[in-house]
Amino acid sequence: CTCYRIVKKKKGDERRSHGALCACTALDMKGRVPQVLFGGGKLSTRTRMNCVVKSTFSETKMVPILNDMLIANPSPAAVSRFRMGWLNKADNVDNKLFRNEVSDSRGLTPADKLASSLSEPGVARTKYGTITRFGGQPYDVRNSLNVWSSGMWVCTSTGSTAAMAAAGGQPMDLHSNKLQYLIREHMIENAPNKNEIKDLDNGMLEEDQHLHLRWNSQKGRIFIDGSHLVHNLELGDEILIDSKAPPLALYSDAKWD
């Protein structure tokens, strides 16, 4: 008996993106591009994510993130340990303490001055929680939670229907300025307030909020918009995440709006 199998020809190259945000394709570009050039296109914007990583002697600003990022241990079998919290600007820090820091820094090497600028400012602990600083701005870290998990997804509204949705997240309005985070496989079985902690596994980050992570594993990695762009993390690195990156302006197809 001879069996015949019908093989269907693929309509697209699965190694490439399908261009969900493109207003036209190679087939209709000739008609669409003149529309845009002569004012007939529809210009819209999409929120992008801002991410800053502070290490011992440096601060690294990631490229604007359009879809999502994964923060996790380089090994998928290892536990990702980090402390998660929210940042509030600490505007009432005693400026006299900063003046003393500046006067004490005279004669230091550039590396010593950079290390001093990244250190925690002198603040009364009774008034603040944990104090950190990004770009010279002091922040008060509030509502911290120690997390043992498989890492964390953070996405924009554009990326909410991809990996975030597959991991159990919520689809978002495409024009929302919020960000969404999701803790992967959170280990909370022995926690006394299990339900309260579980409610924090997946949530939204408002436009004026800043998410803060302190990496507590020996090694870590940030994957930005896929697997090609990565940034390595070390024990003690701090991460600031918000929606303050410049938005992406694009001429979009009406079916995506």
> What is the arithmetic mean of pLDDT over 223-236?
95
65 and 245 Cβ atoms separated by less than 8 Å: yes
Helix (H) / strand (E) element for 221: namely strand 219-224
Residue 227 has pLDDT above 70, yes or no: yes
Q: Mean pLDDT for the chain?
A: 82
Taking only the tens place, the pLDDT of each residue in 17-58 is: 667 788 888 888 888 888 888 887 788 899 999 999 999 999
Residue 3 has pLDDT above 50, yes or no: yes
Residue 146: pLDDT band with limits 50, 70, 90: very high
Predicted pLDDT of residue 64? 97
Residue 149 has pLDDT above 60, yes or no: yes
- For 92-155, the three-class secondary structure string (H helix, E strand, C coil) is CCCHHHHHHHHHHCCCCCHHHHHHHHHCCCCCCCCCCCEEEEECCEEEEEEEEEEEEECCEEEE
Residue 139 has pLDDT above 50, yes or no: yes
Predicted pLDDT of residue 41? 77
Distance CA 23, CA 33 (A): 9
Token digits for 42?
């529809």
154 and 163 Cβ atoms separated by less than 8 Å: no
Taking only the tens place, the pLDDT of each residue in 72-109 is: 999 999 999 999 999 998 876 655 444 444 444 455 55
- Could you list the beta-strand ranges (E) of 156-209: 179-183, 202-205
Architecture of domain 48-91+137-245: Sandwich (2.60)
Give, as one character, the DSSP assignment of residue 49: B
172 and 180 Cβ atoms separated by less than 8 Å: yes
Predicted pLDDT of residue 58? 94
More confident site: 189 or 159: 159
Residue 223 has pLDDT above 90, yes or no: yes
Taking only the tens place, the pLDDT of each residue in 163-212 is: 999 999 999 999 899 999 999 999 887 767 777 777 889 999 999 999 99
Predicted pLDDT of residue 127? 46
Q: Give the residues across from 181 on adjacent strands.
A: 154, 203
241 and 51 Cβ atoms separated by less than 8 Å: yes
Domains of the chain, residue spans: 48-91+137-245
Lowest mean pLDDT among 194-203, 209-218, 241-250: 194-203
